[in-house]
Amino acid sequence: MENPFKWRHNESEIILLCVRWYLRYSLSYRDLEEMMTERGLSLDHTTIYRWVQKYAPELDKRCRPYLKQTNDSWRVDETYVKVRGKWMYLYRAVDSTGQTLDFLLNQTRSTRAAKRFFRKVLGRSHITAPRVINVDKNPTYIGAVRDLKREKLLPGKCKRRPSQYMNNIIEQDHRFMKRKIKPGLGFFSYPTAWRTIQGYETMHMIRKGQIEGADKGNIQAQNRSIMGLFGLGA
């Protein structure tokens, strides 16, 4: 695979460190600029922003083949993200143990959007076809599940279970995203939001121990895994 850091003026380890810290912790770009200055590195916050926009989607792409298999009990819900002063819908799904299935940022909350999200989830290699899909009382999921069963993308025996209580797991998981987005005060465009969210979600999966060989709580192993994904030594 081609070196993703080719032609960059800074060392690849410094670039990946800044990207990793921004995506893992509740920091602003100016916070990171100050932290790097303390370490004797002169980096502008806009430079770090460009790094995140470049390497957050790359991290998502490179970690996908190493995600652990999830189970067949899904929890699906949406949360809100402000993009250019308007609210958009971030569709998210986890299994019964809290492992992330997938995510999708969409401008509307509709049956069409729900179907698009389910198709995206079902296309992932680490996903187990659902036995049950726990959702809230949002009526858009009724048509989405029905249509995907007709298309034979969902198993015919799969149950749609509207239960707010059963979705507490994903409601708790939303909090991570909200903590991450708050320091940045929202996003200025859809592409910026989507690239950044890809990084947030991927780092959250790594943090939860979803990468092979990097268990939850083993930060050193997780960091080594990220370095390895980009062909760098620990």
CATH classification at residue 149: 3.30.420.10
Is residue 6 situated within a structural domain?
Answer: no
Is residue 183 situated within a structural domain?
Answer: no
- Please indicate, yes or no, whether residues 119 and 214 belong to a single structural domain of this protein: no
Is residue 78 situated within a structural domain?
Answer: yes
- Please indicate, yes or no, whether residues 127 and 211 belong to a single structural domain of this protein: no
Quote the mean pLDDT of the chain.
91
User: Higher pLDDT residue, 60 or 183?
Assistant: 60
Pair 128, 150: CB distance under 8 Å = no
- Please indicate, yes or no, whether residues 93 and 124 belong to a single structural domain of this protein: yes
163 pLDDT above the threshold of 90: no
Question: What's the whole-model pTM score?
Answer: 0.92
CA 160 to CA 137: how far, in whole Å?
A: 11
- Please indicate, yes or no, whether residues 165 and 81 belong to a single structural domain of this protein: yes
Domain that holds residue 149: 73-176
- Please indicate, yes or no, whether residues 58 and 117 belong to a single structural domain of this protein: no
pLDDT given at position 9: 65
- Please indicate, yes or no, whether residues 29 and 79 belong to a single structural domain of this protein: no
- Please indicate, yes or no, whether residues 27 and 122 belong to a single structural domain of this protein: no
199 pLDDT above the threshold of 80: yes
- Please indicate, yes or no, whether residues 167 and 99 belong to a single structural domain of this protein: yes
